Amino acid sequence: MRAITNCSFLIHYRHPSAAAAFLRSLRHPLPKEAPPFFKVKALSTSASYSELDNARIGRSSSLASPPPSSDFTQKIDVNPPKGTRDFPPEEMRMRTWLFQNFREVSQLFGFEEVDFPVLESEALFVRKAGEEIKDQLYCFEDRGNRRVALRPELTPSLARLVLQKGKSVSLPLKWFAIGQCWRYERMTRGRRREHYQWNMDIIGVPNVTAEAELISSIVTFFKRIGITASDVGFKVSSRKVLQEVLRRYSVPDTLFGRVCVTIDKLEKIPMDDIKNELMAAELSEQAVEELLQILTVKSLEELEEKLGTSFEALAELKQLFSLAEKYGYSEWIQFDASIVRGLAYYTGIVFEGFDREGKLRAICGGGRYDRLLSTFGGEDVPACGFGFGDAVIIELLKDRGLLPELSPQVQNIVCSLGQDLRGAASLVAARLREKGQTVDLVLENKPLKWAFKRAARVNAQRLIIVGSSEWEKGMVGVKLLSSGEQYEIRIEELE
């Protein structure tokens, strides 16, 4: 028996549990011959115990992964992880079409595009108001012992960038982003663990003209893709309504965010649980009853009857509805006091886009968040914005029969009629591409019949044929696929 004194080696294992047991016993004597289920390969003496420990517990390290054993083949699951998606060409065309509409609407309203890392500091998203998003983070400790998370939303990243830029940018800022977000949550129709989100935000405008402009941008988007006010509406309220009720019962401002997060669960958990959570937040039974009664209010007139005319929220809501008439989207919006949104940072007007048939979850949502920057150590700046996911809108378009048919589009198929003409075909393709034409070049020896089928599949406008007799004359054959017209043309005249 001899002990291993140099532990700088790599284990290729066939049996994981046995390999783990072997690693745990590194400092114990081993027999001269390793057990038959191990293959041991010596490495340089610079490999450390910590590197071996990393391998033992599954952490990545500076050591490269071992090549797979030649006699071991692992069969993988070909499906993406649960809650995520692949985007094959037909799905990618749909995503590109949707994102292009997001971008074009944003640019119509004078917004500039920004983006942020998918991986952010975990602290950016962990607030102390009981938000469910805190329990939905994909988070971990990186190799530098930093707590990081895949972003579950875009607004905190926006706030971080605004703080980073400081006084180097002039207000107001009008920024939009289209980014991938991650949340480990229960999946339903239109809700995945990975999704893309369109955000538009206005930084530096303190009045409701900003919210009116944002809602107008969403309405413009809906109209572009065929959605009408009979399909979708917006429920609008203000967190200041709840704040007014809580003020009358001397509830501390520090509990406001927690109360809003609880109210946002109204359609998700039983009413008794809502009441219990509110009373656990130190609200009296009388305050809870009045708060829940206010949440049933569906008109500004009724709200005025219950709370009077002197509180700030009522004036802001009236101004918003007045602006909606001027913009021409008053039929799209309605007051609903139960809308509070689930994120603790909202401070004023809040809104949600909803499916009027009630089959789908919220299509989009947003509001004012004037005090978000101070939670990250900066000076508060008035701000508002919205988030609009890519999954629910696709489901809505399916239900309404409004999904566009997006087939592949190529202007030209270039095909050579012989191996010795491939170079000539490449030259033709290159010249067309220089002129901005899209070209699908046939790269193998294929019969002309195959090229016609290929052209039909990709909806090509014309088939360009490089044949020997034509090429000798400095010409190529052209067939217009829509009309069937055929002709020959000199290469330099090909447009």
Contact (Cβ atoms closer than 8 angstroms) between residue 344 and residue 127: yes
Each residue's pLDDT tens digit, 146-190: 999 999 999 999 999 999 999 999 999 999 999 999 999 887 777
Each residue's pLDDT tens digit, 10-53: 334 344 444 444 444 444 444 444 444 333 333 333 344 334 34
The span from the CA of 409 to the CA of 467, in Å, is 25
CA 133 to chain CA mean position, Å: 15
pTM of the predicted model as reported, rounded to 2 decimal places: 0.80
Each residue's pLDDT tens digit, 83-124: 899 999 999 999 999 999 999 999 999 999 999 999 999 999
Give the three-state DSSP class for 349.
strand
Cβ contacts of 250-259, under 8 Å, gap ≥ 24 = 251/282, 251/283, 251/287, 252/282, 255/281, 255/282, 255/283, 257/127, 257/129, 257/344, 257/345, 258/129, 258/130, 258/344, 259/283, 259/291
CA-based nearest residue to 384, from 213, 182, 178: 213
Each residue's pLDDT tens digit, 423-465: 999 999 999 999 999 999 999 999 999 999 999 999 999 999 9
More confident residue, 416 or 376: 416
The span from the CA of 358 to the CA of 363, in Å, is 11
The span from the CA of 175 to the CA of 158, in Å, is 9
Each residue's pLDDT tens digit, 1-19: 444 444 433 334 344 444 4
For 138, phi and psi rounded to 5 degrees? Answer: -85, 100
DSSP, residue by residue, 231-278: TEEEEEEEHHHHHHHHHHTT--GGGHHHHHHHHTTTTTS-HHHHHHHH
Q: Which residues contact 140 (CB under 8 A, 6 or more apart)?
A: 147, 148, 149
Strand order in the sheet with 383-389: 112-113, 173-182, 194-203, 383-389, 364-368, 349-355, 232-238, 333-335
The span from the CA of 82 to the CA of 92, in Å, is 19
Contact (Cβ atoms closer than 8 angstroms) between residue 120 and residue 231: no
The pLDDT of residue 66 is 54
For 70, phi and psi rounded to 5 degrees? Answer: -65, -20
Residue 381 pLDDT grade (very low, low, confident, very high; cuts 50, 70, 90): very high
The span from the CA of 249 to the CA of 251, in Å, is 6
Which of the given ranges, 147-161, 181-195, 258-272, 299-313, has the highest pLDDT on average? 147-161
Length of the chain, in residues: 495
The span from the CA of 79 to the CA of 377, in Å, is 43
Instruction: For the beta carbon of residue 69, count every other beta carbon within 10 angstroms.
Output: 11
The span from the CA of 336 to the CA of 212, in Å, is 17
Q: Which residues contact 36 (CB under 8 A, 6 or more apart)?
A: none
The span from the CA of 107 to the CA of 449, in Å, is 45
The pLDDT of residue 72 is 67
The span from the CA of 479 to the CA of 462, in Å, is 6
Supply 109's token pair.
Answer: 């309203």
